[in-house]
Amino acid sequence: MKKDEVPQDLSSLGKITKELCYATDSSGKYVAALSSGWDVKITALDVAWGDIEKRIAGAKQKVLNNEASQLLFFMEYRLMDVGILAGYTGFWKWQVKRHLKPEVFDKLSTRKLEKYAEAFNIKVEDLKSMTIHED
């Protein structure tokens, strides 16, 4: 890639920092150049987030249908799988899977709910009511 071809399409990262990349100058020598983003990868990221949004919406519907507990919604929201959530909370994976059932979740102690809330970086009441605050 030549230095004057380094793309400058403003990405959400580009608003915070420019990325360093290596490109060749007119004599073919490699120099460091800064890029504020590239349309091709901005769209790639959009595709990934589009899929995540779909999964979050699907999880929300499952919770409303009483097919899963609020945990499922926040797991999708925080891009976590059972293994990651077990890691953050210290629960076993089988426990997390059990807590995904609405009837089990409804009986969880405050202590356990607090562990989940901390893992998701939210408040216990928001966990129960499936409320999100942008952060």
Partner 1 sequence: MKTDFEHRQGAHCESGVTSNLLSIASNGKITEPLAFGIGAGLFFAYIPLIKINNGPAIAFRTLPGYIFNRTAKSLGIPVISKKFGSKQKAQAYLDECLEAGNPVGCQVGVYYLPYFPKEYRFHFNAHNLIVYAREGDDYLVSDPIMETTNVMDSYQLERVRFAKGALAPKGHIYYPKQGAIITDDTIKQAIKSGIKKNVYNMLNIPGSFAGISGIRNTGKKIKKWRDKLGIEKSKLYLAQMVRMQEEIGTGGGGFRYIYAAFLQEADTYLPGNQLAEISVLFTQAGDMWRTAAVHAAGIYKGRIGSQDDFNKMGDYLLEIAELEKNAFERLKNIKWQ
Distance CA 89, CA 85 (A): 6
Q: Are 70 and 94 in contact (CB under 8 A)?
A: no
The nearest distance, CB 13 to partner 1, in angstroms, is: 6
Q: How many CB atoms lie within 10 A of CB 70?
A: 24
Could you say which residues in the range 16-75 bind partner 1, by CB under 8 A? Answer: 16-24, 28-30, 32, 34-35, 38-41, 43-45, 47-49, 51-52
- Determine phi and psi for 56, rounding to 5 degrees: -65, -45
Could you say which residues in the range 102-131 bind partner 1, by CB under 8 A? Answer: 121
- Sites of contact with partner 1 (CB under 8 A): 1, 12-13, 15-24, 28-30, 32, 34-35, 38-41, 43-45, 47-49, 51-52, 78-81, 83-84, 86-88, 121, 135
